[in-house]
Amino acid sequence: MLQATELSGGYGSGLIVRGVSFSVQKGELFGILGPNGSGKTTLLNMISGLTRPESGTVAVKGKMVDSYTPKELARVVAVLPQMTSSQFAYTVKETVSLGRYAHQTGFFKSWTQEDETAVQEAMKQTGTSSFAEKPLSALSGGERQRVFLAQALAQEPEILLLDEPTNHLDLSYQKELLDLLKSMTANGLTVISIFHDLNLSSLYCDRLLLMDAGQIHTIGTPADIMVEQHIQDVYDTDVQKQPHPEVPKPQMSLLPNMPALAEVDIHEGLLEHQPDYIAIRPPVPLKALSSGVIGAGWGWRSAFVNRHVDKSYNMEHFEEEAAAFFAGKGFDLNETVGMMTAVKMEDAAWRMERQEDVSVFAVATAGVGNAVDVTQPRSSWKKQITPGTINIWVFANGKLSEEAFVQGLMTATEAKVKALADAGVTDRETGTMATGTSTDSLLIAATQRGAYQQFAGSITPLGIAIGRAVYEAVTESLQKTTKRRENL
């Protein structure tokens, strides 16, 4: 559809773009990325025929771009620049109608039904119909940008060139605009767009071109471009790559340049003991991976609560009830990990373990009324609602990799299983050694300050500390609950 060959050019003296070659297929959404001054807009201007390249060629539909007449070109290629303005108060409808200029032929340039339909359709697609009669000057920047998009669409182009189209748009319109473009590429429109936002372009584009100092750094699928090393090379900025939660496209997070942080220790002194819950509110938010009633999954959390509920607790609407309880106690639901157990809070146990440059503080409440051997065949899990839970918190005073979090979960679980085995807890149904209970919860939270811990396997300092702390805490809590039951 579009083929650029060895394009070089720029304004005035000096080449801003040097030897850029690429091709774009029909129906592609092609993104151009690069830092300020890397020549993105110059490249786009050469493609659109606005700037004549010093050397190299641009072919549109197999024909050189400079052999088109202006009108012919406008029927094939439409351009949405970063900012268009007029000193005069044209209405939205008048502005969009100008998009039909290239389609109006003959001496009197009469306005046909086809023109009207194209204009109405373009305004409908961009959601600008509702202010069709307003003057442009009465619109916000984002609304104006959509009007000019409508103008470009009214040209009924086969190729649409955009220069940072999402610049003035708020979040919902960014998404709508890109969804619209994406759906139009499915109908055969070819879109070439400059993006500032790496993540947006990764989400929507079929292919990306990463510019660096006027040359192509990398060209390929989002996965090819969104490599931490590439982005660091080109933008000279620290980023971290993560998967998108729903879409199999990589995303980049900026890593702000923060001053070295003072170390923070999570320890016994921070434990708050209440009759119906224990809590820890660390001085800084902790990066946490957990299961729990609220605040499960990944997150930065600033409060951790383990709540006692009665054995007869109604499990039907436990999420709403629990949320109301935690909120009522003054915990911010967005920043809290909350767990529940039938175990009395007096039976909670904790242990601090230090290994080399890292320390681990573990808290456990262990009830085994419901102990289960997960390795035994079993018919149904859902029926079972008798509470009896082992809740474990592991706080690591160090900077953990994601790998360390996962290994930490494994290590903590192994320690729990060993504690149950050493305490002789059995699955009542099968009579075999229990490996846990049916509703166990686990939390690993790290201060992300201090020494870096890449691993938390069983022979690493962090792994050893986790194993020891969890084992001791679970064992002690088991002893307390067992004693309480015996005393009954």
The binding site for other proteins (CB under 8 A) comprises 48-50, 69-75, 77-79, 81, 84-91, 94-95, 98-99, 101-102, 104, 109, 134-135, 137-140, 151-152, 155
Tell me whether residue 49 or residue 367 sits nearer to other proteins (CB atom): 49
Tell me whether residue 109 or residue 428 sits nearer to other proteins (CB atom): 109
Tell me whether residue 90 or residue 318 sits nearer to other proteins (CB atom): 90
Instruction: Please check whether residue 292 is in contact with residue 441, taking contact to mean a CB–CB distance below 8 angstroms.
Output: yes
Q: Of 152, 155, 17, 1, which Cα lies nearest the Cα of 79?
A: 152
Report the alpha-carbon distance of residue 149 to residue 96 in Å, rounded.
Answer: 9
Residues 393-427: b if buried by 16+ CB within 10 A, e if exposed? bbbbbbbbeeebbebbbebbbbbbbebbeebebbb
Tell me whether residue 99 or residue 388 sits nearer to other proteins (CB atom): 99
Instruction: Name the residue with tokens 């000057």.
Output: 137
Shortest Å distance, C-beta 89 to other proteins: 5
- Spatial CB neighbours of 118, under 8 Å, sequence gap ≥ 6: 99, 100, 103, 154, 156
Tell me whether residue 98 or residue 227 sits nearer to other proteins (CB atom): 98
Report the alpha-carbon distance of residue 146 to residue 80 in Å, rounded.
Answer: 10
Report the alpha-carbon distance of residue 302 to residue 286 in Å, rounded.
Answer: 6
Tell me whether residue 56 or residue 135 sits nearer to other proteins (CB atom): 135
403, two tokens: 């790998």
Residue 471, helix vs strand vs coil: helix
205, two tokens: 């584009």
Shortest Å distance, C-beta 101 to other proteins: 5
Instruction: Please check whether residue 303 is in contact with residue 332, taking contact to mean a CB–CB distance below 8 angstroms.
Output: yes
Shortest Å distance, C-beta 86 to other proteins: 5
Tell me whether residue 73 or residue 478 sits nearer to other proteins (CB atom): 73
Q: How far apart are the first and last CA of the chain?
A: 82
